[in-house]
Amino acid sequence: MTRYIDVNDLCYLVSQKSLSTCITEMAEYIRADYLRWQDFEKCARLANHSLDGVIELMPVSDASLYAFKYVNGHPKNTLAGMLTVMAFGALGDVDTGKPVLLAEMTLTTAIRTAATSALVARYLARDNSRSMALIGNGSQSEFQALAFHAMLGINEIRLFDIDAKATAKLAANLKAFPAIKVILAGSVAEAVKGADIVTTVTADKAYATILTDDMIEPGMHLNAVGGDCPGKTELDRRIVERARVIVEYEPQSRIEGEIQHMPDNSPVTELWQVINGQQPGRENAHQVTLFDSVGFAIEDYSALRYVLDVAKALDVGSDLELVPDLADPKDLFARLAQQPRVQQKKRA
């Protein structure tokens, strides 16, 4: 049988642990897996692009588990009342190929993206960072706000989005966390001015300039989350040129990240090198640091591993006969003759 975790199961899991705990614990799973970077068979994600969006598969494996995620990105979906990003994923046993977990990954991806952002900021942001500008107040924004509050002690967050309703939604949701001071900014520049950390998480599939070079002050840490496919960026190129750039997996980031419009030899450092101490994160208090985040499959592997461990501990989810369970593994045909456990309702 395969453990199955749907949206309701994931919500129950988070309710039992608390979102802040899930973010913090998942970040440790991600850190642990980046520390064993060489154990993984890696590739850039496989993307099928359309006019208004993209559908991607994100595979990775080590000697024990194979993981993949199906995920889309369709910014116009909100106009039809649908999520911009939807996802599901699976874990398989490498020795046998048997699927051991099938899970929702829309909520899980939001948690793992925020957990990764805050984890990286521990290495790149100044130790005394307490304020963050959050540009783009859509579905990912609450998760980013809570991750930085829980993991870095950020207690002041300045909000801006060209969609005022999105900002109002975020501000209303953050009222449940009174330790966070929320400031509504009238522009990107107003939100960014004096901030220790700047997070951009916008959705448009376009070469955008959300941050201009004149907005960036010495010592800032930039967490660029929104740019995650070819033709989709958020930062003025001059910012990328002068920042210390950290990426997850360079071959993928060259295609999808802020560095897609930089020369192929522009300097970058991969995240695993920082986490294992091979390369420094922030080098001095005045340096501008940039996490050019596009999302990488190892983070999904870590997230699925975490969800499976917690689901087992809390007895969350259900068993699913995703592949046939046979008395004779050479007689697949016989499975069709067995009485179905659930019969489909006849269509009218």
pLDDT for 228: 72
The SS3 of residue 286 is: coil
Instruction: Give the number of residues written for the chain.
Output: 348
Q: Which residue from 315, 314, 304 is spatially nearest to 26, judged by alpha carbons?
A: 304
Q: What are phi and psi of 160, to 5 degrees?
A: -150, 140
The DSSP secondary-structure symbol of 138 reads S
Burial-class residue 169 by CB neighbours within 10 Å (0-12, 13-18, 19+).
middle
pLDDT for 330: 97
Per the structure block, which two tokens stand in for 20?
A: 């802040």
pLDDT for 203: 67
Residue 289 in this model has a pLDDT that exceeds 80: yes
* Residue tagged active-site, from 33, 228, 292, 300: 228
Calpha distance 182→84 (Å, rounded): 25
**Which tens digit of pLDDT belongs to each residue from 76-129?**
999 999 999 999 999 999 999 999 999 999 999 999 999 999 999 999 999 999
DSSP 241-265: HHSEEEES-HHHHHHHSGGGGS-TT
Burial-class residue 297 by CB neighbours within 10 Å (0-12, 13-18, 19+).
buried
Per the structure block, which two tokens stand in for 333?
A: 């045909």
DSSP 270-293: EHHHHHTTSS-S--STT--EEEE-
List the single range of 17-31, 60-74, 196-210 with lowest mean pLDDT: 196-210
pLDDT for 231: 79
Residue 344 in this model has a pLDDT that exceeds 70: no
The SS3 of residue 275 is: helix
Catalytic site residue 228?
yes
**Which tens digit of pLDDT belongs to each residue from 134-189?**
999 999 999 999 999 999 999 999 999 999 999 999 999 999 999 999 999 999 99
The DSSP secondary-structure symbol of 232 reads B
Q: Which residue from 220, 73, 259, 51 is spatially nearest to 135, judged by alpha carbons?
A: 220
Q: Are 183 and 157 in contact (CB under 8 A)?
A: yes
Q: What percent of the chain has pLDDT over 70?
A: 97
Residue 348 in this model has a pLDDT that exceeds 60: no
pLDDT for 281: 96
Residue 346 in this model has a pLDDT that exceeds 80: no
